[in-house]
Structures are given as structure tokens and as C-alpha cells.
Structure 1
Amino acid sequence: MGHDLDGRLAARLAELRQARDWSLDELSRRSGVSRSTLSRLERAELSPTTAVLSQLCAAYGRTASQLLAEVEEESPQLVPAGRQPVWRDDDAGFVRRSVSPPQPGLRGELVECTLRPGADISYAGASVPGLEQHIWVFDGTLEITVDGRVHVVDAGDCLRFRLWGASRFRCAGADPVRYALVVVLP
């Protein structure tokens, strides 16, 4: 993330916690993220990993895209390619481009994702229970585990489901996997 976006995200995370009147200890208990990490995130000393962002979103009951859209400067109808926010977790091998970010009054969003070979990302639960997802693979092979069931999704294939629990995304091939993720709020 860019420096300005990191700062706005840090401020928004602090606002969300304070609006609930939660201490750092309480948020740590609810999210499973250490108190020291939460403190560093809120001071913009640290950018969240994919896993940490997922844990915080679950604690706050919103999707990662919703949270990231809340810190964007505006939500225009036309989103030129150069203005589509890109978020990277280099340690996890994950790049996320918000092609059509969330906008007030709209329930869907479109995200382009890329996982490098060997990337394996697990989410403990749905940030928003019943979240509808459609995953269309452009290049490579994506292994997705939803509710304990493993799906192998190859280029051109589309997997669609409602997410209620844990999920896992793994690049199953020797090449990166690039896919579109359509998210529809319940």
C-alpha cells in the first residue's frame, strides 16, 4: 500500500476500535491479533498482512474491500485502471487489485487477485457470514477449500458459493494464478 493509504488505514482501524469502545486488549481477544501488532498498525508503523487484515475485518464485520474502500479518497462510478487500488502482501505472495471497489448503495465488487506459485492463504472465517463469491480463473490453477471441501479451479473455470466459515486459497501450479473475485454482500 502507498504511504498515504497506510496512514488512512491506520486512522480508520483506530476509529473502528474506538467507536466500539474496545481497548487494544479487547480487540486482540476478538481478532486473535496481538496487542503490540494492533498498536503498531494503528500508528501506521506496520502494514497489515492478508491474514491480519482478514482477522480485523472479521472482528469488525466487514470485508477487506469495504475496509479499504472506507480509506479511499472517493468512490467514482468510473474507476480508471491507474486509480484502482492495489494492495500487496509480498510475504504471502498475494496481490489484490480492487477493479470495482465497494460504493455506498451497491452490494457487489470486483477484485483481480494474483497468487504466486506456492502461495497458500487461509482465512479462519467469513468476514461477513453468507458473503456470496464468484471466482473466475484467468491463468493458472487455484485450489480453493470452502467448508472443508476442496475445489480445483483451472483457467476458464468459475466457482461460486456463499461463504459461512473457513476458506483457503492455494496456487496449485508451477505458474502464478490470476483470477477475478466477484463479491456480493448478503
Structure 2
Amino acid sequence: MTQDEVDVDAVIRARIRGLRQAKGWSLDALAARCHLSPSTLSRIETGSRRISIDQLVPIARALDTTLDQLVEPVEDTDVVIRPQHDRVHGATTWLLSRDEGPHGLTVAKMRITRRTRPKQLRVHPGHDWFTVLSGTVRLYLGERVILVRAGQAAQFSTMAPHAIVAHDGPAECLTILDHEGQRVHLNAVDLTPEESSPPR
């Protein structure tokens, strides 16, 4: 067995024990649910017995998880969410979904500092949705100007010319973007500090 296999083996054992304890189950309780003897399960958790696939499947099912989740590798790079600064559009974004979710949706937190209406409003296929966590944002939607305050949410067709800016100070939003929205809103980023513009 290679060192990598040993490390993965240890992670799997720790996950089984952690999930069992999180449910408040004893070894006997889990063993009864996955049709293994308590002694076999104990040896699996402690590392004194090799783990086989035919044992992992019923264990995963009993713990309300999947085999894939039980054996997926752990990468340190997945832990830290690094902000993306977009100085041009006055926003800092934290991508909260590692991969595109169902139907190609991406979840992101945005801190908006720009307070002036952009010269050109954006248009693209799809829909945008956001909720304001703090502050107030000014949503330009065609000819309309809509204030969306903390605790409120907005959803709109992005075929209407649109832009989102801070109203009277920095604002933070949680947003869900489809694939086209992600491409349009999150693709122009740099790592230089952003500067807030004076209100218009």
C-alpha cells in the first residue's frame, strides 16, 4: 500500500467515525444498520482491518451519504475562498460554489463599492437573482431605478439593460448567476485594491 493509499484510507476511516458520532450512534447502532458485526466495524474505524468496497457501500448508505462523498480526496486549496477584485466595476466577489451547480448556476457573495451609474448598461440572456445582506443597492433596470435594501431580494430578466451599484455606501449581496451571468459579471477581475467612486 502506497503512502497516498494510506492517507486516503485514514480519511475514509475518520469520516465513517465522524459521521457515526455526529448522528449519536454507537458502533452497535451503525453495525445493525449496515449489517456488519460491531467488531468488524470497530476494526474498520481503528485501522486494524482493510476496508473493502462491499463494506463501504452499506456503510455509506447507512450514514445517509454516498460512496463518492466517503472517498473523495481532500485538497487544501478547497478550504480558502479568495476574493476577486474588479476595480473597473467596483466590486469584490467571493465564489461560494466550487463548481457550477444544478442547471449551471453559480453562487457568489459580492461587495459593491461603485456608486455611479455605468455609462453602458449590460444585456445578456438569462436571469439574475440577488439578496442584499447589508447596505442598499441601486438596481438600474432599463429606464427604472430600484432601491433594494438589506433583507430584500430582486430577480429580473437580464435581457433588460441592467447594472447594480451601491446606493449610499458599500453594500454586500448574495447572488445566484446562470452561466451567461457569471461570464458577463465575473470575468473582468484583477487583484489591485478597488476604490469607491463618489455618488452621482
TM-score range relative to shorter protein: 0.3 to 0.5
Which has more strand, going by share of residues? 1
